[in-house]
Structure 1
Amino acid sequence: MPQLDFTLPHWAYWLGLILFPIIAATLAKRPKPKERKYSTVLGYFILITGGILGLHRLYLKSMIGLLYIPVFIVILFANSQGQDARSVTSDMSNLVRQAERTLDREGGRVTSAEAELPGMRQKLAEAETGSLAERRAQRDVRRAEQRIEQGRERMAAAEADLETGRPAAEEAQANLEFWQNIAKYAFWLILAGVAIDVFLLPGLVRKANANLPPEPELSEAELKLKALEAAERKDDASYVSSGWTGWIDRLSLFCGEFVAYWAVIAVIVYYFEVMSRYVFGSPTNWAHEAMYLMFGMQYLIAGSYAMLTESHVRVDIFYAPLSKRRKAIVDLLTSVFFFIFAGTLLVTSWIFAFDAIAVPSGNSLISDWARGEIGFAEVITSWNLAQWTDPNIRWGEISFNEWEVPLWPMKMVMIIGGLLLVLQGVSKFAQDLRALVGRA
């Protein structure tokens, strides 16, 4: 199987977090077609992302797509067997290496002891009976004999390991190559099918659209039920307040919808990780860290959106039955605790973010400024393109794993999340005051 040695560049990660929601939101806001039809563009997208599973065929209701699945299962099974064979090969190779080192080490020790033993015995024979020299000579002879005996035992065990380890290693290596070839040929078979479908896909889409059954007309009861569901469904835009607080609500709404599309990125990245790990045997060193950092930022930015749309978990046993005015009173009283939390989050986020930029490993102008070594005016006047493009320039704190992604942007997002939460709290506070005085 070919290897996928792909590491996501840092700039692509951060740029993707910005551009993907914009593109996705633009596509989501397109007018929906009046008639349900299969899309050639979507078909090619599915072919690129899931063609190895035949999903593009299944999307077009072509049962030929089912033929991809057993071949894909063969790849997974072959890779699993290959991993087992690789483990056995590694174990047997280590056993052989250890046995060879044992033979080299113990062979020299035994040879040396055998060469010294006659002289030791001669000293023992010449030593005076009961003397200290005799006891020393006896001890030396005994140690030499033990060294020879133990060395021969270890050499015998090492030779036995070699007799079993070498054939087992060769057999495991042969099994590994066999299963690797099976996986490789199955992969090329799927790849050939995908390559053919690249050219056949437009015709398959036309055929699928031609075979679409007419949409059944809804009954009067179904139409009423659909209208009732639409009426009960509250649009997020309805949470936007009037007056000067409206811009805060719209900002929270935009940010929440923006980061919501990041969940789609997680699906794509984890799909790539699973395929890379189990199909190509090339697990990534960046997918997991990239996603948990992304979800951490999503959690922070979406806090104000959740507050706007009243999506936070709370106990409504006592709160829900209250009138709007009494709810406003409760909200105003409890807002003290909210602003303590939100203010603490904002202040500590500011400290964390600038500490991340000012770490000693940071050698950029921004890091020098954050450490107080230069002024902001000098940062502006000395700025150049190398601050963005030079790989030797680091702006601040980076992660400790092999990917080494900068962590300071995430901590900057903590400031944004805290600021959005404070602003939304101000908006909520103002709306509660309006409700209290009867102006809302």
Structure 2
Amino acid sequence: MPSLDFSLPHWAYWVGLIVFPLVAMLLSRRPKPDQTKYSISLGYFVLVTGGMLGLHRFYLRSLLGLAFIPVFLVILFANAESQAARSVVSDADNVVRMAERILERETERVETAEADMPDLQAALAEALAEDPESFAVRRAERNVERAEKRITEGRERIAEAETDLETARPTAVEAQEALGFWNNVARYAFYVLLAAMAIDALLLPMLVKRANAAIPPSEAPSEAEIALKKLEEEEQKDDADHVSAGWTGWIDQLSLKAGEFVSYWAVIAVFVYYFEVISRYVFGSPTNWAHEAMYLMFGMQYLIAGSYAMLTEAHVRVDIFYAPMKRTNKAWVDLFTSIFFFIFAGTLLVTSYIFAMDANAVASGNSLVSDWARGEIGFGEMLGSWNMAQWTDPNIRWGEISFNEWEVPLWPMKWVMVIGGLLLVLQGISKLAQDIRAIARGA
């Protein structure tokens, strides 16, 4: 089975986190046609991402997609068997190496002990003849006993090693044959899927055209589609209802857009983990970046979405006494509790700024930004000395990096913490202004 050796470039990771949500937000605002049709571009996208499972056929409502699944399952089963055979081969090879090492070592020791045995026995006989009760007799007896013990134990180890060799070598050969067989099964099954996907890539325009032609011209939306559309409209209306009037409205809109922006990161996670599963279980090449990239992304999503959760009142709280209150009384309560909120949000903003500056100022950073963060140059000198090498030179590091093999820069995440804290403080100011406004108006 061919391997899939791919490591996501750092720039592609950060660009994807920015560009993908922007494109998704633009596409979500396109006017939707009254009658949904199948798209060639979406069909090719599904073919590239899920063609091994025949998802492009299911997208076009073709049951031939079921033919892809057994072949895919064969690949998974063959890879599992290959992994088991590889473990057997590794274990058997270890046994063979240890047995050969034991044979080499113990054979030499036994031969040396057997060669020394006549001299040791002669020395014992000579000591007994001189003085049977002397210390020389006891020492000679111990030397003979040690030599006999070395010979006995050595022969036992040699016998065990020879037995291990007799059993491990055939096992290794048999497992190696099984490994080659299952590798070939997985490889040829993969080639079958590739051939089927290549054929479908050529046929896709015709398949899309046929699927669109099969759609009734006046097909009414199903109840599920109507309910889903109604739910989407209600959710959008609910979010818009939280935007206040006046100058606080732009802060609410900013929090709303930030929450929508990071919500599309969940879609990125689906594709990344799908790639990780395919590369691990189909190609036997687990990535060194997928898990780290996603937990960093979800951490940033949590921070950015804080202001959105505050705007839409999505945070968990106890409403036993708060919910029945009038708007004015709620405003007084919120005004009092905002003291604790700003302590938390201000601490988050200040500490995250310190973390971000420290991330750029670590010793491994040799960029202009790192020099500025360490106080070695001024802000104006940093801007005046800027050049394209700061972006393109792979030897230049902007600061802190992860300790894993991927070595992704961590300073962007630290600055996202600053952005999240700033958004939270701004939303707190908007909420505070609205509470004061409600108290002043008495409504």
- Partner Cα separation in structure 2 for residue 219 and residue 63 of structure 1: 21
State the one-letter code of the partner of 1:5: D
Query: Which stretch shows the higher mean deviation, 80-89 or 372-381?
Result: 372-381
**Aligned: 1:155 with 2:172:** no
1:373 corresponds to: 376
1:98 paired with 2:89, answer no
Structure 2 equivalent of residue 195 of structure 1: 198
Is residue 2:175 matched to residue 1:172?
yes
Query: Which one-letter code corresponds to 2:33 in the other structure?
Result: P
Tell me what 1:53 maps to: 53
Q: Secondary structure at the match of 2:400?
A: coil
Which of 179, 185, 190 aligns to 2:188? It is 185
Q: Which amino acid aligns with 1:379?
A: M
In structure 2, distance between residues paired with 1:291 and 1:250: 27
Partner of 1:77: 77
Decide which of 336, 339, 355 is 2:339's aligned counterpart: 336
Worse overlay, 380-389 or 136-145: 380-389
Residue by residue over 1:394-415, the C-alpha shift from the partner in whole angstroms, topping out at 9 and shown as x without a partner, is 2211111111111111111111
Q: Which residue of 1 aligns with 2:39?
A: 39
Task: Look up the match of 1:282.
Answer: 285
2:318 is equivalent to residue 318 of structure 1: no
> What's the CA shift string for 1:9-39, capped at 9, x where partnerless?
1111111111111111122111111212111
Match of 1:89 in 2: 89
TM-score, normalised with respect to structure 1: 0.95
Find the counterpart in structure 2 of residue 256 from structure 1.
259
User: Corresponding residue for 1:348?
Assistant: 351
Counterpart secondary structure, 1:6: coil
Distance 1:226 1:54, change over 3 A: closer
> Which moves more between the two structures, 37-46 or 109-118?
109-118
Q: In 2 relative to 1, CA 297–226 (structure 1 residues): closer, same or farther, beyond 3 Å?
A: closer
Q: Tell me how far 1:94 sits from its aligned partner.
A: 0.8
> 1:323 offset after TM fit, Å?
1.2
Structure 2: which amino acid aligns with 1:416?
I
Does the residue aligned with 1:377 lie in a helix, a strand or coil?
helix
Cα pair distance change 1:83/1:54, threshold 3 Å: same
Aligned equivalent of 1:234: 237
Contact 2:328 2:442 in 1 (8 A): no
One-letter code aligned to 1:347: V
Shift of 1:439: 7.1
In the other structure, the counterpart of 2:138 is: 135
1:180 and 1:396 map into 2 onto residues whose CA distance is 43
Match for residue 434 of structure 2 among 418, 423, 431? 431
Task: Report the Cα distance in structure 2 between the residues aligned to 1:418 and 1:6, rounded to whole angstroms.
Answer: 35
1:149-182 residue CA offsets vs partner (Å, 9 max, x unmatched): 1111111111111000000001001001101111
Please tell me the residue identity of whatever aligns with 1:103: L
8 Å CA contact 2:352–2:417 kept in 1: the answer is yes
Match of 2:393 among 376, 390, 408: 390
Tell me the residue number matched to 1:64.
64
Give, in whole Å, the separation in 2 of the partners of 1:154 and 1:110. 10
User: Which residue does the alignment assign to 1:414?
Assistant: 417
Return the alpha-carbon distance in structure 2 between the equivalents of residues 206 and 402 of structure 1.
46
- Compared CA separation, residues 130 and 389, structure 1 to 2 (3 A): farther
Give how far 1:80 is off. Answer: 0.9
SS in 1 for 2:237: coil
- Cα RMSD for the two superposed structures: 2.2
Identity of aligned residues (%): 71
Equivalent residue of 1:384, what SS?
coil
Moved more, 74-83 or 374-383: 374-383
Q: Give, in whole Å, the separation in 2 of the partners of 1:229 and 1:7.
A: 37
Secondary structure of 1:243's partner?
A: coil
- Name the counterpart of 2:27: 27
CA offset at residue 331 of structure 1?
0.6
- Range moving further from structure 2, 369-378 or 132-141: 369-378
Distance change >3 Å, CA 115–CA 386, structure 1 → 2:
farther
**Residue 79 and residue 224 in structure 1: after superposition, are their counterparts in 2 closer, same or farther (change >3 A)?**
closer
- Aligned match of 1:299: 302
Could you list the runs of 5+ residues in structure 1 that have no partner in the other structure? none
Whole-angstrom CA distance in 2 between matches of 1:357 and 1:228: 45
> What is the Cα deviation at residue 364 of structure 1?
2.1
- After superposition, the C-alpha distances for 1:234-291 in whole angstroms (9 at most, x for unaligned) are 3423322122212211211111111111111000000000011111111101000000
CA 1:157–1:228: 2 relative to 1, 3 Å: closer
Find the partner of 1:210 among 210, 213, 220.
213
Return 141-150 or 355-364, whichever deviates more: 355-364
- Structure 2 vs 1, CA of residues 38 and 308 (structure 1 numbering), >3 Å: closer, same or farther? same
Contact 2:304–2:423 under 8 Å retained in 1 = yes
Letter in 2 for 1:21: P
Q: Offset of 1:227 from its aligned partner?
A: 7.2
TM value normalised by structure 2: 0.94
**Structure 1 residue 101: Cα displacement:** 1.0
Partners of 1:139 and 1:225 in 2: CA distance: 91
